[in-house]
């Protein structure tokens, strides 16, 4: 099998997953595409949107399509770090200490309303998200692979919330929004869910082993030196923009590089083009920046800054 055939196989398997999730989620093909990019990069996703849009349903449909273990954590102010990682307790029946694993020891973890938990509990996710392991009672437990955190937060109700620190935001590969469906899409939702729950009919279309093979293959997608320079120029431009107090970190550069490789593979290509980078710049970079007080005063969003940067930096063309 040639390298081109391998990437066509990645595209075809990814489409199977996308179609499986699409049987449940109506009209969000672009978001499902980006979720697949994160999955191929084994990166974490932050959904920032209002309740009832379908964030939980999408995460469940993805887990079922992959045959992966799934756990949902409802973040509340009284949630403790041990409620996330697990606890060691004394079993009086056999007279020994036993470890009861927490929900973080799953392959796909939904962290619902993550900004409602205290910073101490939020930090329990940091080691898991970055190092794919958790430390409990001086022991280190390796998390199952693949491992991805899908977190949600409500941007409207800010009372009683604890905003995520920059260090944790930087660990999310992407920040995505589902947005409200169109009129025709909402009617289709009513028709699809009126008699049964489509989620119950979702079955695995690929397994974890195949997914890991895909994750290895995307790292072999070729990136031309001029495209690498384009990525670096975009990131560096965020650090000098007048509306930005803190620009994108080198972790952000690598995230844009990896996600561009994954997006190219989803198109069946073994090489990255500048349009791949431009398509992913907003979801990958915008949440990694801090606006200046003046920019916040004028309601300037980081998405607009990314648009400015994309218009400023020259796009490489084929010589």
Residue 168 is predicted with a pLDDT of 81
Give the contacts of 223 (CB within 8 A, at least 6 positions apart): 257, 260, 261, 271, 272
User: Is the model more confident about 234 or about 81?
Assistant: 234
Bridge partners, 150 (sequence order): 45, 110
Task: State mean pLDDT over 224-237.
Answer: 93
- At 45, the pLDDT band (50, 70, 90 cuts) reads very high
Q: What is the DSSP letter of 318?
A: -
Pick from 165, 219, 289, 205: nearest CA to 43:
219
Render pLDDT for 117-131 as a digit per residue (tens, 0 to 9): 888 888 888 778 888
Q: Is pLDDT at 233 greater than 90 in this prediction?
A: yes
Q: Is pLDDT at 299 greater than 80 in this prediction?
A: no
Q: Is pLDDT at 297 greater than 70 in this prediction?
A: no
Residue 13 is predicted with a pLDDT of 85
Length of the chain as a residue count: 319
Per residue, the 3-state secondary structure of 262-275, as one string, reads HHHHHCCCCECCHH
Domains in the chain, CATH or no CATH each: 1-193 (3.40.50.300), 221-313 (1.10.8.80)
Question: What are the C-alpha distances in Å from 312 to residues 107, 122, 237, 253?
Answer: 40, 37, 9, 18
Residue 172 is predicted with a pLDDT of 92
Pick from 268, 257, 207: nearest CA to 10:
268
Q: Is pLDDT at 79 greater than 60 in this prediction?
A: yes
pLDDT above 70 as % of the chain: 94
Q: Give the separation between CA 21 and CA 301, rounded to whole angstroms.
A: 31
Q: Is pLDDT at 319 greater than 60 in this prediction?
A: no
Residue 159 is predicted with a pLDDT of 61
Q: Give residue 269's Cα distance to chain centre.
A: 22
Q: Which of 166-170, 217-221, 230-234 has the highest mean pLDDT?
A: 230-234
Q: Give the separation between CA 41 and CA 44, rounded to whole angstroms.
A: 9
- At 202, the pLDDT band (50, 70, 90 cuts) reads confident
- Checking DSSP bridges between strand 139-142 and strand 44-48, what pairing results, if any? unpaired
- At 63, the pLDDT band (50, 70, 90 cuts) reads confident
Collapse the DSSP code of 301 into the 3-class scheme (helix H, G, I; strand E, B; otherwise coil) and give the result. Answer: coil
Q: Enumerate long-range contacts of 296-300, CB under 8 Å, 24 or more apart.
A: 300/243
Rounded to 5 degrees, φ, ψ at 164 are: -65, 135
Q: Give the separation between CA 8 and CA 227, rounded to whole angstroms.
A: 22
Mean pLDDT of the chain: 85
Pick from 114, 97, 141: nearest CA to 46:
114
Pick from 162, 175, 197: nearest CA to 303:
175
């Amino acid at each position: 099998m040639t390298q081109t055939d391998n990437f066509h196989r990645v595209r075809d398997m990814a489409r199977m997953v996308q179609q499986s999730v699409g049987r449940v989620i109506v009209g969000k093909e672009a978001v499902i595409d980006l979720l697949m990019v994160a999955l191929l990069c084994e990166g974490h996703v932050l959904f920032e949107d209002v309740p009832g849009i379908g964030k939980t349903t999408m995460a469940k449909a993805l887990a079922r399509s992959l045959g992966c273990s799934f756990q949902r954590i409802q973040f509340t102010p009284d949630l403790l770090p041990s409620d996330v990682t697990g606890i060691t307790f004394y079993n009086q029946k056999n007279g020994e200490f036993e470890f009861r694993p927490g929900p973080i020891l799953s392959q796909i973890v939904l962290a619902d309303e993550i900004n409602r938990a205290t910073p101490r509990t939020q930090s329990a996710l940091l080691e898991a998200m970055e190092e794919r392991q958790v430390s409990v009672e001086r022991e280190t437990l390796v998390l199952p692979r693949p491992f991805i955190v899908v977190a949600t937060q409500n941007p409207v109700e800010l009372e009683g919330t604890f905003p995520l620190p920059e260090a944790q935001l930087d660990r999310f590969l992407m920040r995505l929004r589902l947005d409200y469906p169109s009129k025709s899409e909402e009617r289709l939702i009513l028709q699809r869910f009126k008699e049964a729950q489509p989620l119950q009919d979702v079955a695995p279309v690929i397994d974890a082993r195949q997914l890991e093979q895909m994750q290895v293959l995307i790292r072999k997608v070729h990136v031309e030196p001029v495209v690498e320079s384009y990525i670096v120029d975009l990131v560096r431009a965020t650090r000098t923009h007048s509306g930005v107090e803190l620009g994108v970190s080198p972790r952000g550069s690598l995230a844009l590089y990896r996600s561009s490789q994954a997006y190219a593979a989803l198109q069946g290509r073994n090489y990255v083009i500048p349009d791949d980078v431009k398509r992913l710049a907003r979801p990958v970079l915008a949440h990694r920046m801090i606006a200046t007080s003046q920019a916040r005063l004028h309601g300037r969003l980081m998405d607009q800054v990314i648009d400015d940067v994309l218009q400023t930096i020259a796009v490489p063309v084929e010589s």
